Amino acid sequence: MSTANLLVELFTEELPPKALKKLGEAFAKKLFEGLELNDFLEPSAKLTNYASPRRLAAHITDVRAISEPRPQPPKTLMPASVGLDADGRPTAPLLKRLRSMYHDDVDIEWLMRERVILVEEGGKKVLKHEEGLAAGSQLFIRLGGALEDALQALPIPKVMSYQLADGWTTVNFVRPVHGLVVLHGADVVPVSVLGLEAGRTTQGHRFEAKRARITLRDADSYVSQLADEGAVIASFAERRAEIARQLAAAASSLGLAAVEDDALLDEVTALVERPNVLVGQFEQAFLDVPQECLILTMKANQKYFPLLDAAGKLTNRFLIVSNIAPADASAVIGGNERVVRPRLADAKFFYDQDRKKTLESRVPGLAKVVYHNKLGSQGERVERVRAIARWVAERVGADVRLADRAALLAKADLLTDMVGEFPELQGIMGGYYARHDGEDERVAQAIADQYRVRRDETGAVSNLVSEVLQIADRIETLVGIWGIGLKPTGDKDPFALRRHALSVIKSFQLLGALFATDRDGLRLKLDDLIEYALSVFPAGVLAGNVAEEVKLFIYERNANQLTPMFGAETVAAVFANLPPLHEIVQRCRAVDEFAKLPEAPSLAAANKRVANLLKKAEGAVGETADPARFVGDAEKALFAALGEIAPKADAAFAAGDYTGSLRQLAALKTPVDAFFDAVMVNADDPALRANRLALLNQLHQTMNRVADIARLAA
């Protein structure tokens, strides 16, 4: 069967840069799936997608000109009781039907042998005619529909409506489309879409193409002709890699490093067709402004890549990704330098103006800033966070006065000009302004740290006031937003409660590590924290079982976070009894180590059996067995082993050595196996049965202090 490679390109006006990557991938993928569904693709077919600011394209190898014939389902003729006589020969009605389908002199015996089958449906025998293979469809007939389906399925952020050249027809697409290329090998496939007829001509770079229109020789020459004649790198991935290479080379030549930002790199890739990285600079005086402000304005407004020195400090150099490569780039560089100066000047003006007022003087203004119509103003929220911060500080040994001060000033930068212009700098600017106001460095750092999203890189607590503010702010949000019914649903989490929960978890982990040598030093418990947070809200504002739901939500987030690291069985074992939040990681590590022991499978299975026996026991089960009531050697041996091993396991547990505690259990394998081989737990004698259950209860308590070991059983 004839096959060739297929190219489909839509030539458009400039596509939205932040959506281009997804649009290119989705367009090619949907077109591939449509052709695959209609049997036009060989098993060896491969897909390559292309996307540039003015085009979406797909290249698919091994595409059939005519689709693969498909088997057709058998067609019902009539009931066997009507079509066959008592001897199994065809009756007159069946003969008439078969001749009408073929011709009068058809070989009936051949038909009955090769095409007519007897099947049973619903308890009745039916005669059916096997249809064979349906003829394949031609590519040009089906491709238009597959292309339309691909366009309809695109994740278009906002649809445009525009008129075609006839002045009457209205078309809807993400941007106006001006050209359609569809080539199967060297042949144009005569399809139309969005009011355009397919051809073989496209356009290259607006300014640097060798010719205005490029006539493509075949589907496989697309990339090379666009590059040679059109000055366009068609592949999004290749263009991105070229930009990254040029950025690294330009930065390295200056002994500097470009700010890493994958989202910005994707966006710039979607803005240029042939990248050319240039170096610009601005006046040194602007470096007096906090570098976060300058970096943000250069990235967000100008799409520049700021350059940092070896210490990570911003320099007055930046990289421009230009879409043109003139012999003399000075005009391009000069133009970009002129454009960036007003942006940096605005940032400097905001910074200078903001420092004329202290953060504390802005706090009363928060009473006029609405936080949520059910939860009041930001001023009311600040008072709630302050109360929680003082309570937490007392329990973790932080300076209560500084924790209260940090909570008081934490939201004041909402009213500054800089944060008004760049909301992403909230907290960061508060830290700078707090230092300018002469606040304690721990307070300034806590304010700056409060919106940190990536806390997984934090290895230890450097400022207890920061952790206190983190916990107070996150738990106030979790309890308040959850309590007014705005809990996360599916992929919707407008108040980032999942992220808030992870932040609380991280703080507990850090505090747990800080107090690892003094297990009684950390007096902060999640249940108590949630209950206190609930108490700072006015009566009647929050509804539902908020305390229990928020607690389970936090534990669920932690379980989801740890499952890829330790596995579902280990996490299920540890979370079975919801241990203290700051101990969970250590317990997971301990269970993970225990599961590797050769004795683990047998002990886990035995523990599961013990749990079932205790669950089915009638009445209360004793906590301690009476050795005087033992009858057999196996139960005596298990009791003796427990007496020796349990104190050691308990001592290791009390010291926080969960791995050591679980390793002690390995010695129980032999007496436990012997017990279940020789002892009937549910004996007829009630006293004997009760004593054996009490012994198993002792065993169960010893084995499950760290985690529910039964969850490891296969």
Give the model confidence (pLDDT) of 117-176 as tens digits: 888 887 888 888 876 655 567 888 889 989 999 999 898 878 899 888 887 888 899 999
The three-state DSSP-derived secondary structure of 266-328 is HHHHCCCCCCEEEEEECCHHHHHCCHHHHHHHHHHHHCCEEEECCCCCEEEEEEEEECCCCCC
**pLDDT at site 501:** 95
Q: What is d(CA 336, CA 333) in angstroms, rounded to the nearest whole number?
A: 5
User: If one looks up domain 3-68+137-230 in CATH, what number appears?
Assistant: 3.30.70
Residues β-bridged to residue 308: 257, 314
Average pLDDT of the residues of the chain: 91
Percent of the chain residues topping a pLDDT of 90: 67
Q: What is d(CA 484, CA 476) in angstroms, rounded to the nearest whole number?
A: 12
The answer to whether 453 touches 344, Cβ cutoff 8 Å, is no
User: If one looks up domain 586-712 in CATH, what number appears?
Assistant: 1.10.730.10
Report whether pLDDT(548) > 80.
yes
Closest CA to 582 of 653, 528, 504: 504
Structure tokens at 704: 């499950």
Q: What is d(CA 228, CA 217) in angstroms, rounded to the nearest whole number?
A: 13
Give the model confidence (pLDDT) of 653-672 as tens digits: 988 899 999 999 889 989 98
**pLDDT at site 613:** 86
The string of DSSP letters for 58-109 reads EEEEEEESBPPPEEPPPEEEEEHHHHB-TTSPBPHHHHHHHHHHS-TT--HH
User: What pLDDT band is residue 465 in, cutting at 50, 70 and 90?
Assistant: very high
Q: What are phi and psi of 502, to 5 degrees?
A: -65, -35
Cα 518 to Cα 128, 272, 491, distances in angstroms: 82, 58, 40
Give the largest CA-CA distance in the chain: 109
Q: Could you give the 3-state DSSP secondary structure of residue 115? A: coil
Report whether pLDDT(635) > 70.
yes
Give the model confidence (pLDDT) of 525-541 as tens digits: 999 999 999 999 999 99
Q: What is d(CA 274, CA 243) in angstroms, rounded to the nearest whole number?
A: 9
Cα 586 to Cα 512, 600, 713, distances in angstroms: 10, 18, 21
Give the model confidence (pLDDT) of 47-95 as tens digits: 999 999 999 999 999 999 988 777 778 888 888 888 888 888 889 888 8
Structure tokens at 306: 């700021």
Range 191-194 contact pairs with CB under 8 angstroms and sequence separation of 24 or more: 191/140, 191/143, 191/144, 191/147, 192/144, 193/144, 193/147, 193/148, 193/151, 194/10, 194/151
Around Cβ 382, how many Cβ atoms within 10 Å? 23
**pLDDT at site 235:** 97
Mean pLDDT of 436-457: 85
User: What pLDDT band is residue 187 in, cutting at 50, 70 and 90?
Assistant: very high
Burial group, residue 574, by CB count within 10 angstroms (0-12, 13-18, 19+)? buried
**pLDDT at site 549:** 96
Q: What is d(CA 189, CA 181) in angstroms, rounded to the nearest whole number?
A: 9
Structure tokens at 662: 């679980």
Work out whether the CA dihedral 10, 14, 15, 21 comes out positive or negative.
positive
Give CATH 3.30.70 domain extents, the chain. 3-68+137-230
Give CATH 1.10.730.10 domain extents, the chain. 586-712
User: What pLDDT band is residue 714 in, cutting at 50, 70 and 90?
Assistant: low
Q: What is d(CA 74, CA 263) in angstroms, rounded to the nearest whole number?
A: 55
Give the model confidence (pLDDT) of 278-337 as tens digits: 999 999 999 999 999 999 999 999 999 999 999 999 999 999 999 999 999 999 999 999
Burial group, residue 108, by CB count within 10 angstroms (0-12, 13-18, 19+)? middle
Q: How crowded is the C-beta side of 703, counted as CA atoms within 13 Å?
A: 32
Report whether pLDDT(521) > 70.
no
Given phi > 0 = left and psi -120 to 50 = alpha, else beta, which region is 358? Answer: beta
**pLDDT at site 455:** 53
CA triple 497-498-503, angle to 5 deg: 90
**pLDDT at site 456:** 53
**pLDDT at site 296:** 95
Instruction: Tell me the one-letter amino acid at 644.
Output: E
Instruction: Tell me the one-letter amino acid at 509.
Output: Q
CA 483 centroid distance within chain:
26
Give the model confidence (pLDDT) of 352-394 as tens digits: 999 999 999 999 999 999 999 999 999 999 999 999 999 999 9
**pLDDT at site 71:** 72
Q: What is d(CA 586, CA 262) in angstroms, rounded to the nearest whole number?
A: 34
Closest CA to 51 of 250, 327, 273, 375: 273
Q: What is d(CA 665, CA 669) in angstroms, rounded to the nearest whole number?
A: 8
Report whether pLDDT(459) > 70.
no
Burial group, residue 453, by CB count within 10 angstroms (0-12, 13-18, 19+)? exposed
The answer to whether 470 touches 382, Cβ cutoff 8 Å, is no
Closest CA to 54 of 272, 213, 209: 272
Higher-confidence residue of 181 and 676: namely 181
Residue carrying structure tokens 């934090």: 458
User: What pLDDT band is residue 695 in, cutting at 50, 70 and 90?
Assistant: confident
